[in-house]
Amino acid sequence: MIEESPIRVLRIIARMNVGGPAIQITGLMQDLPSSEFKQLLVTGFCSAEELDYLDENQIDIDAHKILGFGRSISVWMDLQVFLALRRKIKSFDPHIIHTHTAKAGFLGRLASLTISKKYFLVHTFHGHLLHGYFGSCKTKLVILAERVMSNYTDALISVGSRVMEELLAVNIGSSEKFLVFGPGLQLKRLPPKKLAMEELNIPNEKYIVSWIGRAVKIKAPERVLEIALECKLRGLEVHFTFSGDGPLLTDLKSKAIELELPIQFLGWQSDIERILSSSDLVILTSENEGMPVALIQAQMAGIPVLTTDVGSASEVLVNEKSGFCIDYSAKDFVDKIETLIKNPQMQKAFSEAGKKNAIEKFSRSRLVSDHANLYRRLISQSNS
């Protein structure tokens, strides 16, 4: 029986690199009522080619960093992380341990299971590693590890229904344990479009198509070049902006110059509102996704979206009302871009529908409420 207050939640993620999971975790750390919940974030350090979301945005939350707890796998370092997690669990003595993403989910839950005290275990799938990350052997090992850990987890959270269905299809978890909590976001006020374009040196006479993300293989950023080339061949007055960093960026820049493509590489931009204000369309080209935050942010800002039909991307927009969700081909992407350019009324209707959709479904207050209610329910079970 738990009589103590507040409820202690230990939140674990391998690294807080810029992206959807870091944004969600920050929202929970900042907005769950401190009178009822005491939280501690345990995380690692980002690699050299990544940006730390907390550092970049100067966010002050209660966080403890463990050396070696990052994306890469190393038996020796992961053993040290495992031992450090055990120590932190014992010292913080949480009621609930909530892990996020694959590596942290495995190490965090395994560490908790080696301690004699019983903790409520919650794990969030912000996506999954079933497609596009590893070869077949490693993927099978990931599936096996997730199956085992799900047996000991009290609640499994998926950011979208399709992600949950794909996990259930390979026997990870059970429908009784799964909950779907979509992302919860909030935007600051957007600057005037003209000012945003001037500050970023973006030409205001073109239709602006924006890509936002990390230049890594799974995001398929090379497709932006294919789309830009097709637009160029059709003679469309389109200018592309590419906001993000990553290991593929140098090659992308070189190819864009070689092909004389209308692409402007802006690097990492902490002011997402300025990017959105300058955009007419936001596109996503990924081969695999969880619930893409950039598409939600775009719709909140009243920007139509165009995405590949991967992960739970289709759940973010209202297809053919706030954007398009299609199988990838450069031709099909450009067909949709051309349709929007030639139909200003459609552009306006998509803008209005997207804003309504995103605000209703993906508010930060809803995300916080979903988690607070889950935590309360778990604690009440122990007291019943």
SS3 call for 97: strand
Provide the residue type at 327 as one letter.
D
In the predicted model, what is the mean pLDDT of the chain? 94
The residues near 377 (Cβ < 8 Å, ≥ 6 apart) are none
CATH class of the structural domain 193-361 = alpha beta
Do the domains at 7-184+363-383 and 193-361 have one common CATH topology? yes
Q: Model confidence over 117-150: pLDDT tens digits?
A: 999 999 999 988 676 666 788 889 889 999 999 9
In the structure, what pLDDT confidence band is assigned to residue 346 with cuts at 50, 70 and 90?
Answer: very high
Region 93-115: mean pLDDT is 96
CB count within 10 Å of CB 313 equals 23
Asked whether residue 5 carries a pLDDT value surpassing 90, the answer given is no
What is the C-alpha to C-alpha distance for residues 211 and 279, in angstroms, rounded to an integer?
10
Structure tokens, 191: 């600057």
**If residue 142 lies in a helix (H) or strand (E), which one and from where to where?**
helix 136-151
Extents of the domains making up the chain: 7-184+363-383, 193-361
Residue 323, phi then psi, degrees to nearest 5? 170, -170
Asked whether residue 2 carries a pLDDT value surpassing 60, the answer given is no
- 8 A C-beta contact, residue 167 and residue 128: yes
Confidence (pLDDT) at 75: 87
**If residue 60 lies in a helix (H) or strand (E), which one and from where to where?**
none
Beta strand residue intervals within 76-127, DSSP E: 96-100, 120-125
Confidence (pLDDT) at 236: 98
- 8 A C-beta contact, residue 280 and residue 208: yes
SS3 call for 355: helix
With CA atoms as reference, report the closest residue to 208 among 141, 275, 156: 275
DSSP for 32-50 reads S-TTTEEEEEEE----TTS
Residue 39, phi then psi, degrees to nearest 5? -115, 150
The residues near 75 (Cβ < 8 Å, ≥ 6 apart) are none
Q: How many CA atoms lie within 13 A of 380 on its CB side?
A: 6
What is the CATH architecture of 7-184+363-383? 3-Layer(aba) Sandwich (3.40)
- 8 A C-beta contact, residue 284 and residue 295: yes
Confidence (pLDDT) at 133: 65
Region 145-159: mean pLDDT is 96
- 8 A C-beta contact, residue 285 and residue 264: no
